[in-house]
Amino acid sequence: MAHLGECVLSVTPREKTNAMELNFQQNMSDAMAVLPKLSTGLDVNVGFSGVSHFEYTPECIVFDLLDIPLYHGWLVDPQSPEVLAAVGKLSYNQLVEKIIDYKHSEDSSRVSEGLVAEQFLESTATQLSYHGLCELSSTVQEGQLSVFFRNNHFSTLIKHQGHLYLLVTDQGFLGEEGLVWESLHNVEGDGNFCDADFRLCHPPQRTPQPPLQEQRQIDQDYLVAVSLQQAQGEAPGALSDLELAQRLQQEEYHHAKPRQAAGQQGASSRRRDRESDCVLL
């Protein structure tokens, strides 16, 4: 935050006219007031007609002063004239107000237009459309670092050899130093991971943990094996895994024989009962 503040203060106006000087000083004051919000997030209002269209607010002044492009990919497909007419050049906040107003109108055509606009927001809930992705690819310059806004988050965006990449900042990859970039090539968000030189790499496969019931059975078997060793005067760990398995199998066999004999005895008694009740007609 201190570094960003120094960068903003080091900016000088491009023109020295009085009007530009006053405007620059106002922008500088607004930017310094916005800087503390960077630690929690900025509130921006996208426009659906272009990847660099945002409502001009004090939050956007920081990007302008530092000459950092701010992009998004939440655009209306021009091949959908009905949606294009419903959304037009409105911003997100304006479109939400329009939907609320039109859906409660007594005019059926306005109600239909409001429903079309609402359907657009629902179908692009990820805040990225394929038309917007195509526009991003053609707008972002090769090697250009910029900020990408999506799902109410800001990411570092770069274009390398014609492909778009986002800087990996997810907390789950904090210890994976080899994962640096993630490709941005679809709206689903399942890109490919790359290293610092944009070479394809894969996240390490984590060993799946056994289910809780299975883990309890493993622990129980281990305790039984240790108790068998101690009962025979052997130190824990003196037997190999194969010997432990054989001991467990023998223990289960000895426990199973009485149960099997009892089952056979019960079955024999049941047969005798049935035979005693049998009458030949």
CA dihedral 90, 94, 95, 99 (to 10 degrees): -140
Question: Which regions in the chain score pLDDT beneath 70?
Answer: 15, 17-18, 203-281
Residue 208 pLDDT:
53
CA distance 249 to 256: 10
Question: Which pLDDT score, from 0 to 100, does residue 170 have?
Answer: 86
Q: The whole model's pTM is what? A: 0.67
Residue the block writes with tokens 């000088």? 12
Q: Give CA 48 to chain center in angstroms.
A: 23
Query: Going edge to edge, which strands form the sheet with 163-167?
Result: 70-72, 145-150, 153-160, 163-167, 181-183, 193-194
- Angle separating helix axes 241-276 and 212-231, nearest 10 degrees: 100
The full set of domain ranges for the chain reads 1-72+140-206, 75-123, 212-265
- 92-103 helix and 108-123 helix, angle to the nearest 10 degrees: 140
pLDDT for the residue numbered 228:
57
pLDDT at 236: 47
Burial level of 119, CB count in 10 A (0-12/13-18/19+)? middle
pLDDT in tens, 182-240: 999 988 878 899 999 999 987 655 545 555 555 555 556 655 555 655 555 554 444 55
Q: CA-CA distance, 56 to 33, in Å (whole number)?
A: 16
